[in-house]
Structure 1
């Protein structure tokens, strides 16, 4: 295939979690405007992959240099993923990575699988592994950064697509509106507000006249029960990812840390009170939509990418007062994107 020919099948790789996959949505839609999109993602991102417009097929693979904890690299597994990628028969591949990840190991596998054109950002010299290499690493929202890779491959959003995050229409919420959602969990512990602070915020929101719904995954039921207490509706462990999208879509606002449901809320048009720990930069990872950012962005943990809080007392988030959350919710209620 020559660079100017029209691709029939485009492989888009985003190997992280649900939130990362949601942020790849605009790039995927740009690619889908020109051909069939096959999305390569890990099992941790598969729920989000099933909600993205423009995806024709999802291929799941837990990449050993991306997932945590990392599985061993074994020759039979590598042979298997190369064979699987060869079977996709992609005309072009877009490798979407975070700023701290290299696309080159996956590019090597794609070359072995016979993919004729590969596009990615890489600060390292790629040799013959990439056909189009973006050298710059702009400090822009992650969704825009990914869209830049698609554009470098020659793909543009279709007319009328504003580049916002988007998902297919979710199911109707089981809880009657109006309400505010508090989502206390996070995939990385350093990015979560403490359970005590979350519970205090729930009580403060209820005292301010809001009905509150607390959400969480199947492994977070003890956390959501504690945070909901006697004042809020506890939906912890009771929704699929698609059903969670419906709950978030009907909310007036969502109070959440830097984790997948923050991006899911944006994708359904709901404003976010973002309790954002600065272990990664907010300019890249804050919700890509209407939000209020809370948390000390100059805390000692800033830029550390720590999974466990390295500072006693978790001051970047736990110094946020429940009253600040109530004020932020009041600012956002009635403002949708």
Structure 2
């Protein structure tokens, strides 16, 4: 049994949820696990099984609105880490992020063993420089680091995403289970349909006889109100992340772009119609471990650009998705007709 281990994943909620299998593998062999998250991902960290403590710090090299780098802030963070008396640390990053700044901070805090996936030469900053070939799903990529470090999932753990239970009863918000959730917003504009197109999707689902619930954060209320219209229940800003997990759990299917709630739906076992802009690869970032139908032109000109704003006039990779194709995908997933990653649905 290893002593105290830190696992770091310092970006958004969805990224943190995808780290879940890695965290559980570490927890099966460690005295305790601290999850180091950024402020945008903390709520997801608090939902992960196997986490004993959540530590929050905003990394200036990862956050999209980074704070200034100051010596007092770094010094205070180093002292906080030192007080945890960590034996090991695993640093999880996306392929375009470097683990080395955090590795340096952890060395300054006295952490004796550090592992990470790194393309850059780490010098003495890493004890394990793990390499990943190909483009596996992000959850498997993170889990491979834990495995390389000697932490394996325990028997009976299937490696899918998961959240802590029990989740609350949300029937007073949604009515009886069996509805369709449409989550229209994403943190990156290039990854979401226009509100008008999302509203057309909701109207088509309602016309097809489905009961629809629209979800979103408090900041999304103008969008969710427009998208719900007179056809759906609007829960924009009405739920905590734990309550949202329960709303998604009780849905038959979730319709969402590439955003944290799509991964949260996967973590509670609900099939997802993924309205996926190819600015990042669906093979890596589509919802993991549940039946998924990926809609959107995955060969569009914006492919692999990591663009935050769509670089193509009219946002054709997503705006060309027909609401009827969404209805068909929902019907197939509701009937168990899709068993894995499916693409298409562009008219």
Interval containing the TM-score (normalised by the shorter chain): over 0.9
Offset, 1:334: 4.4
Tell me how far apart the structure 1 counterparts of residues 288 and 187 of structure 2 sit (CA, whole Å): 19
Tell me how far apart the structure 2 counterparts of residues 187 and 157 of structure 1 sit (CA, whole Å): 31
State whether structure 2 residue 23 is matched by structure 1 residue 28.
yes
Q: 1:104 to 1:137 in 2, by over 3 A?
A: farther
Give the corresponding residue for 2:283.
283
Give the corresponding residue for 2:307.
306
Tell me how far apart the structure 2 counterparts of residues 178 and 38 of structure 1 sit (CA, whole Å): 36
**CA displacement 1:289-322 (0-9 Å, x = unmatched):** 2100000111111111111111110001000010
Tell me how far apart the structure 2 counterparts of residues 86 and 92 of structure 1 sit (CA, whole Å): 12
Offset, 1:137: 4.3
Q: Does structure 2 conserve the Cα–Cα contact (< 8 Å) formed by 1:123 and 1:136?
A: no
Aligned 1:227-246 pairs, distance under 5 A: 227-246=227-246
Tell me how far apart the structure 2 counterparts of residues 48 and 270 of structure 1 sit (CA, whole Å): 17
Secondary structure of the 2:236 match is coil
Which 4+ stretches in 1 moved above 4 angstroms?
none
2:54 alignment partner, one of 52, 58, 68: 58
Tell me how far apart the structure 2 counterparts of residues 138 and 84 of structure 1 sit (CA, whole Å): 37
Secondary structure of the 1:203 match is helix
State whether structure 2 residue 80 is matched by structure 1 residue 84.
yes
TM-score by length of 2: 0.94
Aligned 1:34-183 pairs, distance under 5 A: 34-35=29-30, 36-169=32-165, 170-174=167-171, 175=174, 176-183=176-183
Secondary structure of the 1:43 match is coil
Give the corresponding residue for 2:11.
16
Give the corresponding residue for 2:323.
322
Offset, 1:172: 1.8
Give the corresponding residue for 1:333.
334
Secondary structure of the 2:40 match is helix
Secondary structure of the 1:202 match is helix
Q: Does structure 2 conserve the Cα–Cα contact (< 8 Å) formed by 1:199 and 1:226?
A: yes
Give the corresponding residue for 1:273.
273
Give the corresponding residue for 1:198.
198
Secondary structure of the 2:41 match is helix
Q: Does structure 1 conserve the Cα–Cα contact (< 8 Å) formed by 2:279 and 2:307?
A: yes
Give the corresponding residue for 2:345.
none
State whether structure 2 residue 253 is matched by structure 1 residue 256.
no
Tell me how far apart the structure 2 counterparts of residues 159 and 90 of structure 1 sit (CA, whole Å): 26
Q: Does structure 2 conserve the Cα–Cα contact (< 8 Å) formed by 1:121 and 1:137?
A: no
Question: Unmatched 5+ residue regions in structure 1?
Answer: 1-5
TM-score by length of 1: 0.97
Q: Does structure 1 conserve the Cα–Cα contact (< 8 Å) formed by 2:35 and 2:53?
A: yes
Tell me how far apart the structure 1 counterparts of residues 226 and 262 of structure 2 sit (CA, whole Å): 21
Give the corresponding residue for 1:297.
298
| More deviation, 169-178/52-61 | 169-178
Q: Does structure 1 conserve the Cα–Cα contact (< 8 Å) formed by 2:17 and 2:44?
A: yes
Offset, 1:200: 0.4
